[in-house]
Homo-oligomer: A and B are copies of this chain.
Amino acid sequence: MADITRAPRLYVAPDLSIGADVPATEGQAHYLLHVMRRRSGDTVVLFNGRDGAWAATVEPRGKRSAAFLVTSQLRPQSASPEVTLFFAPIKAARLETLIEKATELGVTALMPVITQHTVVSRVNTARLTAIVIEAAEQCERITVPQIAEAATLEAIAEWQRAHPDVPVFVLDEAAARGGGGATPLPIALSRSKGPAAFVVGPEGGFSADERARLGALATTAVTLGPRILRAETAGIAVLACWQAFCGDWHGDPPRDQ
C-alpha cells in the first residue's frame, strides 16, 4: 500500500465495513479526480465518526462521480475527551475561525447561543458543518464535533440537567473587567478533571439579566488574564488550555484519538 499518511482523508456519512461501496459526494469526486488527480485504485482514508478509520480505493464512475471501495480497517473508533463550547455567534469570518480552530483543538460539541448582545441572529449551520468536516479531515480526527441549532441561554440550564457532573466555566470579558470574583482559568482547570463545558459571551458581554441567570446556575466564572480577548480568541484559548490541563495533550500521542 502507498504511504497511508499521505492519502486524502475524507469524512463520509454511510456505515463503513470491509467491502462497503460508498458513494463519493460531488465535491469529493471533483476534489479527488480533478484537483488531486487520483486514479482508479488509489488509496484514501475514510471515517464517519462511528466506525473508526478505513482504507479504501477510489473507483471513478464516469468523469464527475466516484465511489470508494472499503478495503481494510486502519483503527477502531475511539472517543475524544468530551469538551463542549457554548458561544454567542459572531461575524462570519471570525465565527469560521473559531469553529475551525475548535475542531482542530478537539471540541466535541459546538452550541450556538443567541444572547441579548449577540450582533448576529442567524447561524448558517450547513456552512459551519462543512467547516467542521474539513477541519476534522485536515487535523486527522476520526470524530466530528456535533453542531447544535442556535438556542437561547436556557439551553445551558437544560444541558446541565443532562450533564450534572460536568463543570461549566463562563468567560465574560465584560464581567472580568469589573474584576468581580472570577477565577483565573489555570486555577480553575488545575482543580478540574475530565469533561468540561465553556460558555464564551458575545463581544459586548452578557447583559445584567443574563449574568444573573448564569450566576444562578452552577457555573464558574473564569478570567483569561489582563488583556481583553475577542470572543473567538477566548474560545480558542480555553480549548487549548483545557486540552493541556485536562484533555489528551499529556501522554504519548495516539494518532486519530
Contacts and interface: CB of A to CB of B under 8 A. Distances in A.
A90 B38 CA distance: 26
B230 A5 contact: no
A97 B5 CA distance: 28
**Interface size band for A:** 35 or more
Interface in A6-49: none
B227 A189 contact: no
B248 A226 contact: yes
A223 B243 CA distance: 12
A244 interface: yes
B179 A250 contact: no
Contacts of A141: 227
A177 B238 CA distance: 24
Nearest to A225: B249
B186 A139 contact: no
Contacts of A101: 233, 236
Interface-centre pick from A141, A233, A248 (highest chain B CB count, 10 A): A233
A184 B233 CA distance: 23
A184 B236 contact: no
27 contacts: A97-B97, A100-B233, A101-B236, A104-B227, A104-B230, A105-B237, A106-B225, A139-B228, A140-B226, A141-B227, A179-B252, A184-B250, A186-B249, A189-B244, A223-B249, A223-B253, A224-B249, A225-B248, A225-B257, A226-B248, A226-B255, A226-B256, A227-B257, A233-B236, A236-B236, A236-B237, A244-B245
Across the A-B interface, give the 6 residue pairs with the lowest CB-CB distance, nearest first: A237-B240, A225-B249, A186-B244, A139-B227, A226-B257, A226-B253
